[in-house]
Amino acid sequence: DAGVTQSPTHLIKTRGQQVTLRCSPKSGHDTVSWYQQALGQGPQFIFQYYEEEERQRGNFPDRFSGHQFPNYSSELNVNALLLGDSALYLCASSRRDRGLLQPQHFGDGTRLSIL
């Protein structure tokens, strides 16, 4: 049973470019959340998708957008990249069970470096 998978594992971009990161949730999970983890810090919540809609959003600018597909997989898009966007981007999946969101399982992340 595959866990949460993310691609690519590493990515190098330059300032001003756009990037798309991908996430496949754990089998049986329907909710996907994205986090940004800067070096030496804890993950910071970006947004959460459920039923193909953004349900919650953290304090991130509109340059960060996402999408969830009918098969529950998700993409994170970042436009107009800044040096400060360099970080590990983590995807976490979970499932709703009778209205309760079960604990989130994390993928190993995409390491994004901005030059």
Partner 1 sequence: GQQLNQSPQSMFIQEGEDVSMNCTSSSIFNTWLWYKQDPGEGPVLLIALYKAGELTSNGRLTAQFGITRKDSFLNISASIPSDVGIYFCAGQLGIASKIIFGSGTRLSIRP
Residues lying near partner 1 in the complex (CB under 8 A): 4, 31, 33, 35, 40-45, 48, 50, 55-56, 58-59, 90, 92, 96, 99-101, 103-109
Residue 61 CB, shortest distance to partner 1, in Å, is 16
Check the CA dihedral 28-34-38-40 and report its sign: negative
Question: HSE of 79 in the Cβ direction (CA atoms, 13 Å)?
Answer: 6
Residues 26, 92: contact at Cβ < 8 Å?
Answer: no
Q: With respect to partner 1, which residue has the nearer C-beta, 70 or 99?
A: 99
Which one, 92 or 112, has the nearer CB to partner 1? 92
- CB nearer to partner 1: pick between 13 and 106: 106
The answer to whether the CB of 76 falls within 8 A of the CB of 94 is no
Helices and strands, number each (H, E), in the chain: 0, 13
Task: Provide the minimum distance between the beta carbon of 93 and partner 1 in the complex, in angstroms, as a whole number.
Answer: 11
Closest to partner 1 by CB, 26 or 81: 26
Q: Residue 76, class by beta-carbon neighbours within 10 Å (0-12 exposed, 13-18 middle, 19+ buried)?
A: buried
Residue 16 C-beta: closest distance to partner 1, Å? 28
